[in-house]
Amino acid sequence: MNTKEKILIADDSEINRAMLSDILSPDYEVLEASNGEEVVECLKQHSSEINLVILDIVMPKADGFEVLAVMNRNGWINSIPVIIVSSENAPSYIEHAYHLGASEYINRPFYKVAIRHRIENTVKLHAKQKHLENIVSEQIYEKEKSNMVMVDILSHIVEFRNGESGLHVLHIRTITEVLLRQLSSVCGQYDLTPARIALITNASSLHDIGKISIPEDILNKPGKLDKEEFEIIKTHSAVGAQMLEGLTYYQDEELVQVAREICRWHHERYDGCGYPDGLKGEEIPVSAQVVAMADVYDALTTRRVYKPAYPHKRAMEMILNGECGAFNPILLECLKEVGDYLESEVKIRSAGKISNDSIHTLVHDTLHSINVSDRTLDLLEQERTKYQFYASMTKEIQFEYNYGSDTLILSEWGAAHAGVNESIQHPQSDSSLLRIFSGEDFCDLRERLQKATPQNPIVSRRYRLTLHGEPRWYKAVARPLWGLDEEAPPTKIIGKFVDNEEEQKTLDKLIVQAQHDDLTELLSRNRAYEEIALRLSDLGNTKAALMVLDMDTFKNVNDSYGHFYGDKMLKAFAGRLKRSVRNSDIVARIGGDEFLLYVEYKGCIQKLADRIFHMVSGAYEGFEVSASIGIALAPENGVTYEELFICADQALYACKQAGRNQWRVYDDSMKTILSSLSRQPEEEKEEDTV
């Protein structure tokens, strides 16, 4: 029987076919075709046997591109790799060949060794791909079959209200799997194959489905149940089993049978003191024994409405000391062996919310001979552990939101820090979440994420979170996740909140510094302009005055006493100016010894101007301080900052021309006086030395 792979060589040149045939015939069975029609005919007859097509582009009757098109229409391109061997080396040819599904493009002339290895690699790669496809097809069939069963189960019970936590189910699966693996390694009596472990792990998710028949006020009662309530809640195990027994189909499915065992008997105890049937010892199926222990461990180590969470060490002591009922001694030994690993594994899977726990086992068992797959799985496992480690170290509130289930999942550290559950259904209406993240901010973040695109997916924004009664600034960084079809709506959102309080305080401090004069702590010129322009835009019938003040002969102070003394005098002058007006008025330093004042007033401007003038004037450490003040009125002299400043500056200049140490209100006689906005620096310098 011929076991060689078949290769079809298609070329209109017989010598080209012969050369390739000589290279390949020692290792492969070679078929030949001299034109495109022969290629198609050969594929029709032998498509299931051909492992590779070597195709020339230029051929009679149908060229290589037409052959590729036919292979696409008939689906052959999906199962048969194609290598183009041609002397055509134009980029358009090469691009078109790859576009139509060619695996390789080899130019003539070629080296014998090189083409043999490239052909060999292509054939081997495709053979492995086929092998993997067959394996995956089998696994998909089994998984899809189980999924159909699960969907039917869920459809059967959808009329009930289920109050169980998604994390509880995930924890039960994780603990069950870890215990079963340990049990299989130390005890052979239960025939725990990898497939059996995966089956029991999946079925454990249904252990408490009977609780949907229990009233919520009993399920969620914060205190201890009374005798009557406890008898009611005990019925959930039998009710869950009855639900599964009531299925119209799938009664013979192993998953259903195991799930029924778990539902009915996961509250039985090894000494016969459990419920509902009082089974004892090995009368209890191993599936129910393991889930019973998993259920107790998770109930102890997680917070419930009626109790706080116990530490792992305390929970282990309670189980091993028999405080939670009797368990199989072999199982107790298994629990002791995996205790530390169990604690970390529950945390890791809780943080990552990995729900398909059996993937590693199934793939490892099926594909054990494929080293690359094993290595990849090991690397993924390392990455998952590394992610959990880094997540716990960063002290960030990391989150994941699922659109389909409307569920928000927080990292373990983030949930503990925020004081909320790790899994939150319908987060937009969750009162515990809204206490720390306001509804307004929630809507703002949601709207920004809705506007994100695959091209610009990242959203970054600062929000105030109220944690432990203290509001703090946090920076939110998040992005939507799309499936393969980026045109479809996103399926998830991932992101994190990073404490930004200290950074924000520093930023606020810098902003304040930028808006104020360092020496006098008055507003800076630009900040004053913004504030004044804003008020003038809504002035209405209010009267306002813009004043430009200049300390007379201040240059002499610096020259005679030095800049240190001059700075002290500037600070003193600024203090007097600020005390001369109300807190609501705007006071700024706009130059070396120039100041700006904006006031809104009633009555007579003369009285106000005279009061300010006399308050800023007077002696300072033996030196007589005087000032010149130019005043512009709104709306009489203008209604914009620029108009008023020019008028006030012209009035100031008029004061200087008249001998300084006075104030003046702008009038039309000052129109010809140039303001500082139009005077040249030389003119200002000359005037300052008069």
E strand or H helix at 627, and its extent?
strand 627-634
Handedness of CA 554, 641, 606, 653 (dihedral sign): positive
Annotation marks residue 668 as catalytic? no
Helix (H, G, I), strand (E, B) or coil at 668: helix
Please compute, for residue 525, the number of CA atoms within 13 A of its CA located in the half-sphere on the CB side. Answer: 9
Q: Which residues contact 510 (CB under 8 A, 6 or more apart)?
A: none
Buried b (16+ CB within 10 A) or exposed e, 227-256: eebeebbebbbbbbbebbeebeebeebebb
404: left (phi over 0), alpha (psi -120 to 50) or beta: alpha
Q: Which residue among 56, 550, 552, 593 is the active-site one?
A: 593
Q: Are 556 and 548 in contact (CB under 8 A)?
A: no
- Report d(CA 250, CA 69) in Å as an integer: 45
Q: How many CB atoms lie within 10 A of CB 1?
A: 2
CA atoms within 13 A on the CB side of 615: 15
Q: Are 242 and 236 in contact (CB under 8 A)?
A: no
The CA-atom distances, in angstroms, between 662 and each of 52, 400, 614 are: 102, 69, 10
Cα–Cα dist 74/53, whole Å: 15
Q: Which of 641, 642, 637 is nearest to 671 (CA)?
A: 637
Alpha carbon distance 36, 155 (integer Å):
54
Torsion (CA) 524, 527, 532, 535 in degrees, nearest 10: -140
Closest Cα to residue 374, out of 387, 361, 384?
A: 361
The 8-class DSSP code of residue 304 comes to B
CA distance 286 to 190: 7
Tell me how far apart the 2 most distant CA atoms of the chain are, in Å: 122
Q: d(Cα 170, Cα 298) in Å, to the nearest integer?
A: 10
Cα distance between residue 643 and residue 638, in whole Å = 5
Rounded Cα gap, residues 153 and 187, in angstroms: 32
- Buried b / exposed e along 526-560 (16+ C-beta atoms within 10 A): ebbbebbeebbeeeeeeebbbbbbbbbebeebbee
**Amino acid occupying residue 386:** K
> Percent helix, strand and coil across the chain, each rounded to 5?
55, 15, 30
Q: What region does 322 belong to: left with phi over 0, alpha with psi -120 to 50, or beta?
A: left
CB atoms within 10 A of CB 346: 22
Contact in structure between 265 and 240 (CB atoms under 8 Å): no
Residue 544 pairs with which residues in a beta bridge?
A: 600, 634
C-alpha distances in Å from residue 523, one per residue of 548, 594, 597, 676? 14, 13, 10, 20
- Helix (H), strand (E) at residue 579: helix 563-579
Residue reference for tokens 């490239």:
118
The catalytic residue positions are: 593
